[in-house]
Chain A
Amino acid sequence: MGPLDGVSVLDCSDPKGHFAGKLLAGLGAEVIKIEPPQGDVGRSYGPFLNDQPGPERSLYWWYYAAGKQSLALDLHSADGLEIFLQLAAEADVVLETYQPGRDRPFDPTALSDYYPELIVVSLTPFGQTGPWRDHAWSDAVGLALGGPMGSCGYDNIPGTPPIRPTEHHASHIAGYFAVSGICTALYERQQSGLGQHLDISMHECMGFTIESSAPWALYEQHPLIRQAGRHAGPQPTEPWQYPTADGRLINIFGMPRSEASWLALVAFIQERGMGERLSDFELLDGRKRQLGLQQPTVAVMLADIAEFIAAHDAEEIYAGAQAAGAAWSIIRTPDECLADEHWHARGFFVDVEHEERNLTVTVPGAPYILSETPWTHGRRAPLLGEHTAEILCGRLGLNEEELGALVAAGVAR
């Protein structure tokens, strides 16, 4: 049983809200994903099972729609909207991502007023107000305008642009705000008995996801310089990423702060016959090891460390440095993460059954381990309209003939 057990969510979101809906399902809410009868656009996002596109073959959809139910319903038809309003009367939460002036089937404020106990969440690119509220948007445009991308890129390759991290991070960032907002509003409702409308601007969520760019901008109006594989800063800093003997990269940010940890790291390196200059007395002073200040002591230290890394394999360096108390890391690709026994010991990766394909799929699992109300992956992503009949007939009492008429009219599927 999850912490949101018994909470019902009508999820009319497009990809902007897919991650939020997935999180709610993982916390135990019943998430009814309302998708258009032709299928949610996310079903067209690759990669695909065996590289063959198809609405039931999108691995994006498999991941982000897991644990949800599918109700295929055209909210832009009068009958579809009427059904939606009936379902909303019984729901706890409506999640929607329509921009205010772009073909929105219902007004979220009016919906909130009509059902005072309902929590209506509008997760939109720029919020409900302001000159950009209806601007055309994509996840990449969101990351460009919102600030995260401006700090990412290369300082060592002239003329290159800021780089957008891949996957759907605007939706990831905003998804957590939507979920925190929903849980908070549910908590508040337990006392007041009242729902409310939440206006969440993804643009504003990203504005709080830029770390030190924010205080430098708010206080000094000082932009930061983007630098390859490390933090953007007011000044250039030393590189953090170094190639290993086996063709991988080690990130050395997380140099030891304590003397004991530093000495352990030096011993680890020197036991392998390298890093002679790391015994320099000056480097015992933690300030002389501090990255980012372009200190001569650090230049020598990093030269020896780079040479050591280049002569050894990534896993050996990683294990030895961590054992010494240095928070070094291997730069892994997602497939490489699956080889690390630690995550399996914690039960992070979970297996999902796709029974109709006789297929078991391993996926990233819980973002958090809740001791009393465990996260659950839930069932595999729903087929298009898989739960339409169950919801319309089982809950709203439509008979087969009425459902057939809706399907024939293209309102439901």
Chain B
Amino acid sequence: MASVPGSRAPLDGVRVVDFTWIVAGPTCTRLLGDLGAEVIRVENEQTLDSIRFGRPHPKGFQPPDSGAMFNWLDRNKRSITVNARHPDGLDLIKRLIRVSDVVVENYSSRILESWGLSFEEQRAENPAIIYVSLSGFGHSGPQRDYSTWGPTAQALSGLTSMSGMLEAPEPAGWGYSYLDHMAGFTAAAAITAALKHRRDTGQGQWIDLSQVETGMVLTGPATLDFTVNGRRYRDTGHPPGNRSVWPQAAPHNTYPTAGDDNWIMITCTSDAEWEAFCEISDHPHWRTDRRFATLPARLRHQDELDEQIGSWTAGQDGRALMQRLQNADVPAGVVQNGVDLVINDPQMNAREWTVTRDHPIIGEHLTDGLQIRFSRTPAHRDRPGPRLGEANQYVFGELLGLSDERIAELQLNGAMG
């Protein structure tokens, strides 16, 4: 499976039974697939992953196999169709678990149980299985039947409230399902750790994740400010827009640049950076201005400081300004969107973050980066998102050893629905 001839991907030989859908679970299994695991998506024609239908739809829409979001998020995976609620379908899944290493799902907490695939039932098929349940609230506790989407979990974890302007009536929050990604990354970390442990000991286990908990893990200092100092988040000048309450720094903000809705983030995290900034900005007198000479003074006069810097940046070309500030070693970066990352980012381009790949329906398209570059066992990104059921023959015939007649029978009786 590895993309470089003669090399092995680091998770080569690991097989994952992938019941995931939407974004959180598939984020996890995309990473595992990139690392070389054989990821087998178990899909059901009656309840297809809505990401298969999500926009954009390049070159016309031929559901369920041509969605860009699906092909982006579910690359490096295979797809089989099984109806878990059919006795023969459940039997297929159990056989697959016997020859696999990891089971991942991100349904709400009682679904796999209701199929007859609780951890104990999985372990009866394969004592060394690593089972990952990724749900909003986890599989224990009084609210285990509550459900989440990414934005639900972000709100409940505190993260939504921690992004915004103090003077606004509502937080800005996250403009996407951050916790779908983060819960997926969290799951991948736990799985790879569990694989390492299993190779030492032969022992599998159940990994129970709550998406809200994965978010609360990211609020440490704010939570401790309450548990230690008794200070509630909103008592502290939070959320501070693009300023920094902790660590203390000023200037630390976004400033307008030439064009429509273009911004640059400038952060001086030390006096040395502030002095360099004053020099390069042709405003050396800022250094000696009593309002700006020291960090405590700059923090007290942030409104004036930001206003003066904003007047200076307005009308300047953002990328040229970023380079000028970087030449003086001042941390500065333009606010980039996805298109900038793909098209306008010299760093991404130099490291070939995007590459062109082929797809049987979409044709040539761009796919994005490998985040971990291993020197000896490189990850890969060669296999496009799977067409629905494209691996049925491989999995049922080759892996599970079913005859063609039996496969035809299972197709007819609805087990492979």
Contacts and interface: CB of A to CB of B under 8 A. Distances in A.
A332 B23 contact: no
Interface string A196-211: 1111110111011111
A232 B68 CA distance: 17
A152 B234 CA distance: 20
A86 interface: no
A364 to B, nearest CB: 5
Nearest to A165: B163
A231 B377 CA distance: 36
A49 interface: yes
Given A136-B329, A226-B175, A232-B175, A346 B335 contact: no
A30 B131 CA distance: 26
A384 interface: no
Contacts of B165: 154, 157, 160, 163
Given A196-B374, A371-B207, A144 B142 contact: no
A336 B162 CA distance: 12
Contacts of B157: 332, 337
Nearest to A261: B147
Given A140-B242, A166-B162, A219-B56, A208 B178 contact: no
A183 B254 contact: no
B171 A331 contact: yes
* Size band of the interface chain A makes with B: 35 or more
Output the residue of B138, B147, B161, B377 with the most chain A CB within 10 A.
Answer: B161
Contact of B11 (A187, A342, A359): A187
Given A151-B175, A211-B181, A335-B232, A142 B333 contact: yes
A234 to B, nearest CB: 7
Given A138-B331, A185-B10, A204-B351, A334 B178 contact: no
A306 B24 CA distance: 29
Contacts of A200: 371-373
| Chain A CB within 10 Å, residue with most, of B160, B225, B338, B341 | B338
A201 B335 CA distance: 18
B337 A144 contact: no
A227 B164 CA distance: 12
A84 B273 CA distance: 30
B407 to A, nearest CB: 33
Contact of B273 (A50, A136, A147, A331): A136
A184 B11 contact: yes
B173 A229 contact: yes
Given A181-B374, A196-B374, A348-B216, A251 B175 contact: no
Contacts of B353: 204, 207
Interface stretch (B38-46, B83-91, B194-202, B386-394): B194-202
B372 A181 contact: yes
Interface stretch (A70-78, A167-175, A277-285, A297-305): A167-175
A141 B246 contact: no
B368 A161 contact: no
Contacts of B189: 23, 176, 179-180, 183, 367
A129, A133, A180, A186 — which one has the most chain B CB atoms within 10 A of its CB?
Answer: A180
Contacts of A112: 375
B175 A230 contact: yes
A346 B141 contact: yes
B227 A203 contact: no
A223 B337 contact: yes
B182 A172 contact: yes
Contacts of B158: 332-334, 336-337
B294 interface: no
Nearest to B367: A218
A31 interface: no
Interface in A100-152: 109, 112, 126-127, 129-133, 135-138, 140-152
Interface in B220-265: 220-229, 231-234, 236, 238-242, 244-249, 252, 254, 256, 263-265
Interface in B100-134: 119
B334 interface: yes
A382 interface: no
Contacts of A142: 333
Interface residues of B, number: 157
B267 A138 contact: yes
Interface stretch (A57-65, A265-273, A390-398, A403-411): A57-65
A401 interface: no
B176 A212 contact: yes
A136 B330 contact: yes
B218 interface: yes
| SS of A interface (majority) | mixed
Nearest to B262: A161
Contacts of A373: 193-194, 197, 203, 205
Interface in B298-348: 325-326, 329-343, 345-348
Nearest to B239: A166
Given A152-B175, A371-B208, A345 B162 contact: no
A187 B220 contact: no
Interface string A353-375: 00000010111111111111100
Contacts of A364: 213, 216-217, 219-220, 223
Contacts of B373: 127, 198-201
A54 interface: no
Given A165-B162, A181-B372, A224-B338, A327 B182 contact: no
Given A3-B193, A140-B244, A161-B335, A63 B374 contact: no
Contacts of A47: 221, 224-225, 229, 231, 236, 246
A378 interface: no
22 contacts: A49-B229, A60-B246, A136-B329, A141-B265, A144-B254, A145-B334, A146-B341, A164-B163, A167-B162, A172-B182, A188-B10, A190-B199, A209-B181, A213-B337, A218-B368, A221-B343, A232-B176, A240-B151, A251-B155, A332-B158, A337-B156, A345-B142
Interface of A: 2-5, 23, 27, 44-47, 49-51, 59-60, 62-64, 109, 112, 126-127, 129-133, 135-138, 140-154, 157, 160-167, 169, 172-173, 176-177, 179-181, 183-188, 190-192, 194, 196-201, 203-205, 207-224, 226-232, 234, 240-241, 243, 249, 251, 253-254, 322, 325, 327-338, 340-343, 345-346, 348, 359, 361-373
Given A167-B219, A372-B203, 14 more contacts: A59-B224, A132-B347, A140-B267, A141-B331, A145-B265, A161-B254, A185-B377, A187-B195, A196-B376, A196-B377, A198-B373, A336-B158, A367-B190, A367-B217
Q: Which 6 A-B pairs have the closest CB atoms?
A: A151-B175, A217-B338, A63-B220, A213-B338, A183-B192, A165-B163
